[in-house]
Each structure stands twice: as C-alpha cells, then as structure tokens.
Amino acid sequence: MRHFSAARLIGILVILLPVVALLSLTVGTVSISWVEALSAVFGNSSSTQIDTILFDIRLPRILLAIFVGAVLASTGAVMQGLFRNPLADPSLIGVSSGASVGASIMIVTAGGAIQGGALVGLSLVSIGAFVGGFTATLLVYRLATSGLGTSVTTMLLAGIAIGALAGALNSLLSYFSDNDMLRQISLWQMGNLSGASWLKVFIMGVVAVLLMSLFPRDSKALNALLLGESEARHLGINVQRVKRRLIVLTALGVGVSVAVAGLVGFVGLIMPHIIRLMIGPDHRWLIPASGLAGAVLLVIADSLARVVVTPAELPTGILTAILGAPFFVVLLLQQRKDCLLYTSPSPRD
C-alpha cells in the first residue's frame, strides 16, 4: 500500500474526530440536528429534553468511545512493535481473557449486587474485570521472565495458555450460571458503551492521557526493537526495562478499557495495522495516529450500534467485529497478492 505523509494523516484524523463526534451527537432514537447539538454544547439550547439526552447520555458515551478507542489502538501499536508482529494485539498478554474471567466471577457470585457501586462508583463487574485482567497479565509476565530476561516468544505462548485456561474457567462459570447470569455474561463479553457515565469518562480519560503521553517516550526504543533485541541492546536500549514498562502500561490501559466497556475486539488489531501500511512503522508517528484512528473507528461503530436495529441497540463490540474482520481479511489478501507479484519470476522473452 502507498505510504502517506504521517503529519498529513494525523492532521486529517484530528479534523475528522470532532466531525464524527458531532455527527454522533445527532444519532439515536431521538433525532437531533447538528445545529441543535452545537447550540446545546455551547450553552444556547432552549430544550431541557435535548440537554438531558446530550449531556447525560450521548456526550459521555461519545467521549468514552474516544478514550477507549484511543487506548486500545495505541496499545495495539505498542504490542505489535514489542512482539515485532503486525498481527499482534493487546489480548496476547492475557489481559482480555483474565478480565473476562474476573467479570464472570463477579456476575456469578455477586448476584443482585453487581450493579451497586463498590469502589469509586464502578460496578463490581468492572472491578472484577480490571483485577482479573491485571492478574492474568502479571502471571503471563512472570511465566515469561527468567534470569536471562523476558522472552517475547515465551510470553506469547504463556498468553495462549492463560487464554485457554480462562476460556475453560468461563465455560465452568457459565455451566453453574442461571439464565439471567448467562445473559449478563454474554452481553458483557460482547462489549458495550451504553453504561457510560461521567465518572467512567473521567477515569478512562485520565488513563488515556497518561498512556498517550508516556508511550511516545518509548518510540525510539520500539523502533530499535524492530531490528531485534540484540541490535537494540547495542544501541543502548535497556530492553528488559522497556518491556516491563510497556507491558504494565498496556495492562493498565486495556484493563481499564475492558472494565468500563467490556470486550471490544479488533480495534487494537486492525487500526495499528492499517496505519502502519499507510505511514510506515515509525512509532513516533504510528502510536498517535493509531490512537486517533481507533477513537474515530469506535465512535463510528458506537453510532451505528445505536441505529442499526432501532429502537434496540446492538453491543458495540459486535459492530467493531463486523466492520473490522472483513476489511482485515481484504488487507491480508491484498498483501498476499502483492507478495506474489513481487516474488513471481519475470516471463521469459
């Protein structure tokens, strides 16, 4: 695929994001024009109903989608650089599978109390998901770390093993669940932004700002790691420290994202891959561009989820999979075609 100017692409995304967010304010069961939405945002609305819909429901949901999308896509770019694999995603370190188990445990054991605020206003399910995700990541990291350092290959295999164990535990919990619990587990695993609140927006926003300010500091290290760990060490990179810091930050970002929005797939896999094909593998540009693209994608997906089956809503994770999977397959087929054209021998005269 042709490479675009990184600065130009980021500029386009910076302009596109508020446009998509404004259009998303007008989408829903109640139709609101963009003029009414702008008037309400700038405090000139004369309708209490519009103010309630925008500020209590849609605006928190849009902001949560922006922060979750940015975190998932930027952590995906970091994991692809760390694993030196453009098909890697944050779930490889076990955080998503661990979060799924943590949430399922809380749903099955907490019963009717799961929606009650247990800590800083978050539900027990959210807290269980965060603890489960962070615990799984810590376990994967410990399994992959020895006196010689942390092996990326061993981490990948450990993540697969922990994911398989988490799947078995989820099946066991589902077996002992009643119909209501099964439905809650299924809906949570589909990923949904309908439970957005200003508190969740604040927590997710703090995490997003933290990660988007810290990740660029390791851009040069990630660029060096693309050459191999030995080459990175020769360039003066403390590889073990970089790995540990990036894994902890990724676990924090994805853990909080899963806690507030459930399992939203493909954002951390497809967006960094697409951006890399467009602007190249330089992480100084790749990380911020991926974050902006992930935010745009998730806002679009959540807007569609609100209107596809009106008056009901589809879980946002279903839309990201429907939008992402076919497009990703097309990209892979195109890459394979390009490789075949590049490697095929020239016809003889």
Q: What is the pLDDT of residues 193-245, one digit of tens each?
A: 888 889 899 999 999 999 999 999 999 999 998 888 888 888 888 888 998 89
Which range, 210-214, 240-244, 273-277, 340-344, has the best average confidence (pLDDT)? 210-214
**Counting beta carbons within 10 angstroms of the beta carbon of residue 241, is it exposed (0 to 12), middle (13 to 18) or buried (19 or more)?**
exposed
Does 88 or 252 have the greater pLDDT score?
A: 252
Instruction: Round to whole Å and give the CA distance between 343 and 98.
Output: 42
Q: What pLDDT band is residue 119 in, cutting at 50, 70 and 90? A: very low
Beta pairing partners, 253: none
Q: How far is it between the farthest Cα atoms of the chain?
A: 77
DSSP 221-274: HHHHHTT-HHHHHHTT--HHHHHHHHHHHHHHHHHHHHHHH----SHHHHHHHH
Select, from the ranges 102-111, 192-201, 281-290, the one with the highest average predicted confidence (pLDDT): 281-290
The stretch 310-339 carries a mean pLDDT of 77
Closest CA to 251 of 131, 133, 100, 89: 133
Convert the pLDDT of each residue in 141-177 to its tens digit.
888 888 777 788 888 888 889 989 998 998 998 888 8
pLDDT at 220: 92
Work out whether the CA dihedral 236, 239, 242, 245 comes out positive or negative. Answer: negative
Lowest-confidence range among 19-23, 268-272, 331-335?
331-335
Mean pLDDT of 19-38: 84
* pLDDT for residue 46 is more than 70: no
- Return the minimum-mean-pLDDT range out of 70-74, 111-115, 204-208, 284-288: 111-115
The helix/strand/coil state of 115 is coil
**Confidence at residue 111, expressed as pLDDT on a 0 to 100 scale:** 57
CA atoms 132, 133, 137, 138: torsion sign? negative
Hey, how many other C-beta atoms are within 10 angstroms of the C-beta on 332?
12
pLDDT at 345: 53
pLDDT score at 249: 93
72-110 burial code (b ≥16 CB/10 A, e <16) = bbbbbbbbbbbbeeeebbbbbbbbbbbbbbbbbbbbbeb
Beta bridge partners of 150: 145
Instruction: Average the pLDDT over each of 8-12, 113-117, 193-197, 303-307 and give the range with the smallest value.
Output: 113-117
Through-space distance between the first and last CA atoms of the chain, rounded to whole angstroms: 29
DSSP secondary structure string for all residues of 154-208 = HHHHHHHHHHHHHHHHHHHHHHT--HHHHHHHHHHHH---TT--HHHHHHHHHHH
Is residue 298 within 8 Å of 85, Cβ to Cβ? no
pTM over 0.85: yes
User: How far is it, in rounded angstroms, from Cα 276 to Cα 266?
Assistant: 15
The model's confidence at residue 346, banded by pLDDT at 50, 70 and 90, is: very low
Q: What is the overall mean pLDDT for the chain? A: 84
Query: What average pLDDT score do residues 111-115 get?
Result: 50
pLDDT at 113 > cutoff 60: no
Distances (CA, A) of 236 to 41, 95, 222, 225, 232: 49, 30, 13, 11, 7
Residue 68 — pLDDT band, cuts 50, 70, 90?
very high
pLDDT at 115 over 70: no
What pLDDT is attached to residue 116? Answer: 45
CA 102, 105, 109 angle in degrees (round to 5)?
A: 145
